[in-house]
Amino acid sequence: MRSDIKKLAELITAYLNKVGLFEQSQVLEVYASWASIVGEKQAGHSKLIDIRHQTAIIEVDHSGWSQQILLNKRYIIRNFQKKYPQLGVENISVIVSSHHTDFQHTRNNTTEIHSRPNDKTNTVPMQQEPPIKTKNSDATKNELPPEIQDAFEKLKKSIIERNR
């Protein structure tokens, strides 16, 4: 009779596995155990945003913490693989928050993460580059000294003549 009694955790796990939600419940556990993956200090200044294409997307509150996370990249990936092998994390991507976020108080609260809108307007990727202008505008022609403009015109003519 004693063997018929099961723990509630076993019943919940069996049910989640039966309906196909077991893996999703394990993913939520990752958010709750963030400090054990990156360490207490780094967890205070970072949070796991998402896991996509075997890459953990991590948001930090300052570029200095971004460097710390990247310096510990191998350690963090090893912890993911050791504690949550089913997620298949093989890389990390770090985003520096463009606004001051107090990560100490959020502590990767799963309700906050999942209620967050998909719009990432508040975050800016670290390696964002300005758009490249391809056409010369009149403004740039006026900004150059006349002797440099003449040199560019001569260069342009010689290139056109060589290509003929």
pLDDT of residue 29: 79
Confidence of residue 39 (pLDDT cuts 50, 70, 90): very high
* Helices marked H in 33-85: 34-38, 40-43, 63-71, 73-83
Residue 119 is predicted with a pLDDT of: 46
Residues 45-58: b if buried by 16+ CB within 10 A, e if exposed: bbbbbebeeeebbb
The residues, any chain, with a CB within 8 Å of residue 103's CB and separated by 6 or more, are 43, 44, 45, 46, 47, 60, 61
Which range, 17-26, 81-90, 108-117, 135-144, has the best average confidence (pLDDT)?
81-90
Q: How far apart are CA 51 and CA 79, in angstroms?
A: 14
At residue 116, the pLDDT reads: 43
pTM higher than 0.85, yes or no?
no
Q: What's the rounded Cα separation, in Å, for the pair 126 and 131? A: 15
Average pLDDT of every residue of the chain: 75
Q: What is the mean pLDDT of residues 47-55?
A: 91
Domain edges within the chain: 2-132
- Contact between 96 and 63 under an 8 Å Cβ cutoff? The reply is yes
- Neighbour tally for 109: CB within 10 Å: 13
